[in-house]
C-alpha cells in the first residue's frame, strides 16, 4: 500500500440487508480503508448509524475502519468509537470548539486523527492544527446524504490543502469525500488528494470491486 492512491469505500451506500457480504467484497477488493459515516440528525440533516453497525463492520472487516463523525459534541463518543474498532477517527472542524484537544484525545486512543472541513470552510482554518493531523478530509458535497453532485471548487481546495501541508511540514494525507467517481478521481489525485471516499459510485456499479480498482488506478 502506498500513500499515493488510497480508496475508502463508504458503507453508507452498502446493502444493509447484506452488510457482511458487502464488507467481505471490500475485504477482497483493492480498497485500502472502509469508510463509516456516522450522522446524528443534528450536525447534518440525516441519521445514519452508530456503535452497533461500527462493531459489525469491525467484526467482518480485514481493512481499517475509517470513521467519520458528522455529529455534534464528538468528544463524548471518541472512546466508544475507538472501542468499536475505528482505526481512524475524523471529526468536523465546525463541530469542535476545542479542536486541538479533540485531536490529542484521538491520538491518545491510538487512532489516526483526521479533521474534515465542509465546502464553505476555508482551508486556512487548518493552519494551526495541520501539523498535528494524520488526515485532512475535504468535503466535496455538503455532508448528510449519499449520492450528491460533486462541488467543482473541491480541486482548488485540495490544492490549497496540499500547499498548506507542505508549507507546515505536516505528514497529513488529503482525503476527499462526496460525489467521487471515475470521472473526477484522476483530477483529484492530480490536485493532491491521497485518499478517495466513494459510496454510490462503488455500490451502484455493476462490479463494485472493478470500480474500486478503477478509482485506485485513475
Q: Is the pLDDT of residue 148 over 90?
A: no
Q: Is the pLDDT of residue 191 over 80?
A: yes
pLDDT the model gives residue 85:
96
What cell was used for 72? 455534534
Query: Confidence class of residue 4 from pLDDT cuts 50, 70 and 90?
Result: confident
Q: Is the pLDDT of residue 182 over 80?
A: yes
Give the integer Cα–Cα distance in Å for 65 and 21. Answer: 16
Better pLDDT: 114 or 148: 114
pLDDT the model gives residue 143:
85
Residues 70 and 92: beta-carbon distance below 8 Å: yes
Average pLDDT score, the chain:
95
Query: Confidence class of residue 2 from pLDDT cuts 50, 70 and 90?
Result: very low
Annotated active-site residue in 37, 40, 66, 181? 37
Cα dihedral sign, 147-51-194-42: positive
Annotated active-site residue in 22, 32, 66, 177? 177
Residue 40 annotated among the catalytic residues of the structure: no
pLDDT the model gives residue 146:
72
pLDDT the model gives residue 1:
36
* C-alpha triplet 85, 2, 190: angle, nearest 5°: 110
Q: How far is CA 81 from the centre of its chain?
A: 15
Residue 177 annotated among the catalytic residues of the structure: yes
Amino acid at each position: 500500500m502506498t500513500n499515493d492512491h488510497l480508496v475508502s469505500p463508504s458503507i453508507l451506500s452498502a446493502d444493509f440487508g447484506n452488510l457482511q457480504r458487502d464488507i467481505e467484497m471490500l475485504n477482497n477488493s483493492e480498497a485500502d480503508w472502509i469508510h463509516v459515516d456516522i450522522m446524528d440528525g443534528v450536525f447534518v440533516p440525516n441519521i445514519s448509524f452508530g456503535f452497533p453497525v461500527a462493531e459489525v463492520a469491525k467484526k467482518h472487516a480485514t481493512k481499517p475502519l475509517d470513521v467519520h463523525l458528522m455529529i455534534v459534541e464528538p468528544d463524548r463518543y471518541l472512546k466508544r468509537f475507538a472501542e468499536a474498532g475505528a482505526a481512524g477517527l475524523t471529526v468536523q472542524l465546525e463541530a469542535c470548539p476545542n479542536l486541538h484537544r479533540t485531536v490529542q484525545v484521538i491520538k491518545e486512543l491510538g487512532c489516526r486523527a483526521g479533521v474534515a472541513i465542509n465546502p464553505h470552510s476555508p482551508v486556512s482554518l487548518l493552519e494551526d492544527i495541520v501539523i498535528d493531523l494524520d488526515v485532512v478530509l475535504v468535503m466535496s458535497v455538503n455532508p448528510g446524504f449519499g449520492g450528491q453532485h460533486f462541488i467543482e471548487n473541491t480541486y482548488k481546495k485540495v490544492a490549497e490543502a496540499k500547499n498548506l501541508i507542505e508549507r507546515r511540514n505536516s505528514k497529513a494525507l488529503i482525503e476527499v469525500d462526496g460525489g467521487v467517481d471515475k470521472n473526477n478521481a484522476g483530477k483529484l489525485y492530480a490536485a493532491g488528494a491521497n485518499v478517495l471516499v466513494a459510496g454510490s459510485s462503488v455500490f451502484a456499479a455493476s462490479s463494485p470491486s472493478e470500480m474500486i480498482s478503477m478509482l485506485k488506478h485513475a
